[in-house]
Amino acid sequence: MWNPSKKTRTIASRILTVLFSITMVFHVVALFQLIPYQYLWGGRLSNLEEMYVMETVALIVNGFFLWSSVQYLRYINRGLVPIWIRILFGFIGVIFLLNTLGNLVAITNLETLLATPVTAILSAICFSLVPKYEN
């Protein structure tokens, strides 16, 4: 089984930290309506109220993902990553894999072309953090 090195896992965690931070900024920008809601969530939102609910949930979830990435970095620096956080990244990887499939069938081309590769990369990075690691 593939077992990434500490350096690979550290880089992966840092990439996730940066990407989740950028994603949170995107969701804040969406909440301030700087992006028309018609372009968000695969073009399936029908009004501003839906946008506020979905973007708020997305912001909270991405905050949790960001926290998880920071925790992984903390544990990898100590030399032992506990099983609960590895399972968590397996779960997050599945979420992004399903999101990738959803982006492929989005109504808006922007989401299909822009978000699909991002979520696919996020999924692959999350799965790279799942194998057991001990220093």
Q: What is the pTM of this model?
A: 0.88
Helices and strands: H and E segment counts in the chain: 5, 0
Say if 134 falls within a structural domain: no
The model's pLDDT over 62-119, given as tens digits with 9 standing for 90+, comes to 999 999 999 999 999 888 899 999 999 999 999 999 999 988 888 878 778 888 999 9
The model's pLDDT over 17-70, given as tens digits with 9 standing for 90+, comes to 999 999 999 999 999 999 888 888 878 889 999 999 999 999 999 999 999 999
Say if 1 falls within a structural domain: no
How many structural domains compose the chain? 1
**What are φ and ψ of residue 134, in 5° steps?**
-135, 140
- State the burial class of residue 76 (Cβ atoms within 10 Å of its Cβ: 0-12, 13-18, 19+): buried
Neighbours of 58 (CB within 10 A): 18
Range(s) of the domain holding residue 24: 6-128
Question: DSSP letters of 81-131?
Answer: --HHHHHHHHHHHHHHHHHHHHHHT-SSHHIIIIIHHHHHHHHHHHHHT-S
Say if 79 falls within a structural domain: yes
Say if 135 falls within a structural domain: no
Q: At a CB cut-off of 8 Å and minimum separation 6, what does 3 contact?
A: 131, 132, 133
Residue type, 63: G
